[in-house]
Chain A
Amino acid sequence: MSDTPRKRSLETGRRYPGSTLFGLLCGTATVLCVTALVGLLATVVAEGAPWLSTTLLTSFSSRKPELAGILGSLMGSLWLISITTLICVPIGVGAAIYLEEYAANSWWKRLVQLNIANLAGVPSIVYGILGLGLFVRTLGLGRSVLAGALTLALVVLPIVILAAQEALRAVPPSIRQASYALGATRWQTVWRQVLPAALPGVMTGVILAIARALGEAAPLVAVGAATYVAFVPYSVHDEFSALPLQIFDWASRPQEEFHGLASAAILVLLVVLVMLNAGAVYVRLKYGRRIKW
């Protein structure tokens, strides 16, 4: 309402018309993104909300829409992301610590670094084919939860490594120097100073990676996950389905009712994702506050 800022912006506008235009374009881009997102969410909620029920969460897939639920695929997805996390966090964070804290800046490190960055951009279906050849056939794991989780771990490992490296790099060198100055060994420095300081960043990366794993369908199709699975996997050797596969199957069915069910399943997937992200925010707040430099 006040006069001065508007007046100033008008003056800049007069002197640099390109600036106003650019600002407008960027604003339009933002509005477009938000509108698309809100529109998408509104459609999914409108279509899926009538189908949200306890039946959806407590029963298995069925050819009859009124009996169909996502118990099998939701549990399959939870199994998958749990095992994927167990596999990719130690390996990914370990690799990041090695590259940031231990490896000398040699051609070897640069080569590895370049490859990790490239691997992060490889389409996930490629990992799916690799998983089918390596885990399902060569290692004989079959179309099991373990084979699916190992494949997903491959997909998200580069993301975890890059995010963890970023977080480790953000820890100021002065922390390390102070630690060394007090006589700490490299192990003590990394384990007690650098890693706790980097933890919020690492966790954010891990959560993003898990969210990615949760939404992947292509590598699981390649590995050979089934679409009709009427049981909760009991061990890592059991077969499984996953939420994205269930959603895809329902969305491509001819009957209208299954499209509503697909939307409801998308809502459940979104809730799981929001919960994961809330976890990341919590970790950042809880551990981030303790660190001051």
Chain B
Amino acid sequence: MLAGLVGCGPAAPSIKIDGSSTVYPLSEAVAEEFTRSGARVNVTVGQSGTGGGFKKFSALEIDLCDASRPIKPDEAKRCVAAGLDYLELVVAYDGIAIVVHPDNDWCAELSVDQLAAIWRPDGPVRRWNELDPAWPDHEIRLYGPGTDSGTFDYFTEEIVGEPRSCRPDFTASEDDNVLVTGISKDRHALGYFGFAYYEENAERLGLVGVKPTDDAAAVLPSLETIRSNAYTPLSRPLLVYVGRPVLERSVGLEFVRFYLANAGGLATEVGYVPVPTEIAEKNLQKLNRALTATVEPTPKVGASSLSEVPRS
């Protein structure tokens, strides 16, 4: 009623994205580039968290849902109940590298329990030789991202077991370059940050392998181990869930294709690990399969062209 009274312009075509604040920088970058490419569409990106995003997704309030974990069974059930068919696309990986000074010749691997003993608020380990008597009797100087970063949230959740719970006496900086410089000048340093920043500065840093449990084998982070999830628990896939309705609008499909085509480059720019070509191809296959499923079974020529987009 009020809606009719107050204003009635034609709503511009819009694409609504919401969900994980971890995926937000990537979706924001894609939305920004898509708008800059001249597309006449209003893209909005929110960050109400993965759970909040799925609630809105199943209430059909948003078109794409950013997620830093796969959809849970009850969330999937709610989507089914709402008649919402969706696609799950892996758009990037988030990996955290544990780093030391390049001359650190004693610490090549640490277990999750050891890391927790160093980083948790009441952590008993303050010196290197408290981890191993053979290691130097010197204080461990800690470096890590500031408390505003998603990396801090993720690291504390996986290592300490409780998000945002961490000992306060570490050198915190939101600027990863500060961390890299600090660690590369401090022989007794131990720090962590996004794997993408380690790669850029690999020659100035030493990498530490992570053992998920005390008797498991240590795994070094690399593009392969992060993508294959062998580097656990400090790597995770970043996902985007795409609702069927948005694919049935030509501008929506164009956006999803743009997302997949540009996610790789933009992922590196915002500090994530891009997906390998197999996954990128799998994403495209999933998308094409979803598209052909909506059309009449008439064979198509040049199925990838945008003018062929099926409309319901």
Listed in ascending order, the chain A residues whose CB lies under 8 Å from chain B are: 60-63, 83, 86-87, 136-137, 139, 141-143, 146, 150, 221, 224-231, 234-239, 241, 249, 252-256
Are the C-beta atoms of B148 and A226 separated by less than 8 Å? no
CB-contact partner of B32 in A62, A226, A241, under 8 A:
A62
Name the B residues within 8 Å of A253 (CB-CB): 148
Chain A to chain B contacts (Cβ below 8 Å), 12 pairs: A62-B32, A139-B3, A146-B6, A146-B7, A226-B44, A228-B43, A230-B31, A230-B32, A235-B11, A238-B9, A252-B148, A254-B148
Name the A residues within 8 Å of B47 (CB-CB): 227, 249
Among B42, B43, B149, the one with the most A-chain Cβ atoms within 10 Å of its Cβ is B42
Are the C-beta atoms of A231 and B25 separated by less than 8 Å? no
B16 to chain A, nearest CB (A): 7
Bitwise, B61-96 to A at CB < 8 A (1) or not (0) is: 100000000000000000000000000000000000
Name the A residues within 8 Å of B28 (CB-CB): 61, 63, 228
Are the C-beta atoms of B7 and A237 separated by less than 8 Å? yes
Give the number of chain B interface residues (Cβ < 8 Å): 38
Are the C-beta atoms of B270 and A224 separated by less than 8 Å? no
Listed in ascending order, the chain B residues whose CB lies under 8 Å from chain A are: 2-3, 6-12, 14, 16-18, 24-25, 27-29, 31-32, 35, 42-48, 56, 59, 61, 145-146, 148-149, 174-175, 270
A76 to chain B, nearest CB (A): 11
B268 to chain A, nearest CB (A): 13
Q: A228-B45, A254-B149 in contact; A239/B9 too (CB < 8 A)?
A: no
Across the A-B interface, the 8 shortest Cβ-Cβ residue pairs: A235-B9, A254-B174, A226-B44, A228-B45, A236-B7, A226-B46, A231-B42, A254-B149
Name the A residues within 8 Å of B25 (CB-CB): 63
Q: A27 CA to B176 CA in the complex, in Å?
A: 46
Q: A150 CA to B16 CA in the complex, in Å?
A: 21
Are the C-beta atoms of B3 and A237 separated by less than 8 Å? yes
Are the C-beta atoms of A239 and B31 separated by less than 8 Å? no
Name the B residues within 8 Å of A224 (CB-CB): 18, 46, 48, 56, 61
Are the C-beta atoms of A239 and B7 separated by less than 8 Å? no
Name the A residues within 8 Å of B14 (CB-CB): 238-239
Name the A residues within 8 Å of B10 (CB-CB): 235
Name the A residues within 8 Å of B270 (CB-CB): 63
Are the C-beta atoms of B6 and A236 separated by less than 8 Å? yes
Which residue of A is nearest B152, CB measured?
Answer: A254
Name the B residues within 8 Å of A62 (CB-CB): 32
Q: A126 CA to B164 CA in the complex, in Å?
A: 26
Name the B residues within 8 Å of A221 (CB-CB): 48
Name the B residues within 8 Å of A234 (CB-CB): 9, 11-12
Q: A237-B11, A254-B145 in contact; A137/B46 too (CB < 8 A)?
A: no
Are the C-beta atoms of A238 and B12 separated by less than 8 Å? yes
Name the A residues within 8 Å of B44 (CB-CB): 226, 228-229, 239, 241
Name the B residues within 8 Å of A141 (CB-CB): 3
